[in-house]
Amino acid sequence: MLIGLARTSTLEQEAGLEAQRRALLAAGVGRLFEEQTSAVGPRPGLEQAIEWSREGDTLVVTDLSRISRSVPDFCRIQARLGQKGVEMRVLNLSLDTATPTGKLMLNLLASISQFEREMMLERQREGIAKAKAEKKYRGRAPTARAKTQQVKELAAAGMKKAAIAKELGIGVRSVFRILRPVIAANSRNIT
């Protein structure tokens, strides 16, 4: 069976997730797992896909960056799949680990992908350092802090934290961070 994995780094990348869904379904995946999280953090969709897979299955991704951002991580994922007898296919590269050449090419491309990411991060750090030196760097706008009052109002109205995050377009952790003092104050008042 073909098992698809679609991943975007943030919740705002809905169009990217939809494009991956279409490509994976067009490739014939029978089961699709999705996640909207960084490749370097916890990966619930990937974990579910690996757990669900059986010997003879193939895990399909649209792009190598959707499965991993580093060679060691890629090798760990590939080893876990290999232990279960599961192959991997990358659609945009037309590569499949079912062949020795496919395995070799995927490992080479994983190395190149990691190199590309490290170079991008290095350029980003250089740009930030230059902007700071020129006193032009302001950093990312604090979107969650600007919505503190709205978060508190929605929480007071009984809305769940995940729903608040989705409604306001901020992270669930930001909602927890904003509400932490409120929750602590309420627990002190109860006791």
Contact criterion met (CB below 8 Å) for 98 and 87: yes
Q: Which of 9, 38, 94, 111 is catalytic?
A: 9
The model scores a pTM over 0.75: no
Phi/psi of residue 94, nearest 5 degrees: 55, 40
Distance between CA 72 and CA 111 in Å, rounded?
9
The runs of H, that is alpha helices, within the chain are: 14-26, 44-52, 71-83, 100-133, 143-146, 148-156, 161-168, 172-190
Contact criterion met (CB below 8 Å) for 172 and 154: no
Q: Give residue 88's pLDDT.
A: 92
Ranges of the chain whose pLDDT falls below 70: 11-12, 39, 182-191
Domain spans in the chain, listed from the N-terminal domain onward? 2-114, 143-190
To the query of whether residue 111 is one of the catalytic residues in this protein, the response is no
Closest of 99, 27, 69 to residue 77, by C-alpha: 69
Starting at the earlier edge strand, list the strands of the sheet with 2-8.
31-36, 2-8, 58-61, 87-90, 95-96
Q: Give residue 2's pLDDT.
A: 95
Q: Give residue 170's pLDDT.
A: 86
Q: Give residue 190's pLDDT.
A: 55
Write down the CATH number for the domain with range 2-114.
3.40.50.1390
